[in-house]
Amino acid sequence: MAHKDCILWSLAMVNKKSSSQSKVPKLSTAENTLWSAITATVKPLDGRNDKISFASQSSKASGFRLKKSPTNKKLLNPEPENNPALHHGAAPGLDRRTRVRLRRGQVNIEARLDLHGFGKSLAFDELRGFLERAYIAEKKSVLVITGKGLRRGGEVGVLRQAVPKWLNTSLMRQWIYAFDYAAPRDGGEGALYILMRRRRR
């Protein structure tokens, strides 16, 4: 073979070897058998697409439960506390002059809350938020309308019974000083005047 032909033959063999190395090697028979065994154990998702919808996920999880709202039965139906109870027009430290003015409706109503149409749980939350805001805003007296809620047989409405009990809980007594039925012009026995405590600084 001529010298020139030898050089050309050598270059051709080098290019052929380089080209074969750039290709992906084929799997052997043993490797193909192993790969088939692995893929046979993989199961596709049952008819689910690639997009995940958070709304479609169940809110329940194993071993996990959402905590109940702070407005639970214990708060809605409070037990009597050790503190001297607040009654309509009667509170520890309430002087006679203030008591008379409260009974006559001689108070400056600085904020109002109407609980007409509220369920018991929502009414509790509304009252709690209202009194806390009034306390922070340093209101002196507010009006809460419960509605008379009179039923057949003279039974008193749910909120008319419940609100005075709620006002006696330690949660709300930190904000209020005393309460009494409103004068007829402000709702009578279907509403309450509430005297607020001074905000502590």
15 lies in some domain: no
Which residue range forms the structural domain that includes residue 137? 100-196
The pLDDT of residue 60 is 34
Residue 77 lies in a domain: no
CA angle (171 as vertex; 144, 126 as ends), nearest 5: 40
Question: Is 42 a member of any domain?
Answer: no
| Position 171 in a domain | yes
Residue 114: which CATH number? 3.30.1370.110
Residue 9 lies in a domain: no
**pLDDT value of residue 85:** 80
Residue 45 lies in a domain: no
Does a structural domain hold residue 122?
A: yes
The residue among 64, 101, 52, 89 whose CA lies nearest residue 181 is 89
For residue 94, the model assigns a pLDDT of: 86
- Taking the C-alpha atoms of residue 171 and residue 157, their distance in angstroms, rounded to an integer, is 23
Q: Give me the residues of the chain with pLDDT under 50, please.
A: 7, 18-20, 22, 49-69
Check residue 200 and give its pLDDT. 81
User: Which structure tokens are listed for 58?
Assistant: 């169940």
Looking at the whole model, is its pTM more than 0.85?
Answer: no
Q: Angle 158-167/120-136 helices, nearest 10 degrees?
A: 40
Assigned domain for 37 exists: no
- Buried b / exposed e over 114-145, threshold 16 CB at 10 Å, is ebeebeeeebbeebbebbeebbeeebbbbbbb
pLDDT at 66: 35
DSSP-derived letter for residue 80 is: P
**The pLDDT value given to residue 50:** 45
Paired tokens of 67: 């905590």
How many structural domains compose the chain?
1
CA distance 75 to 195: 22
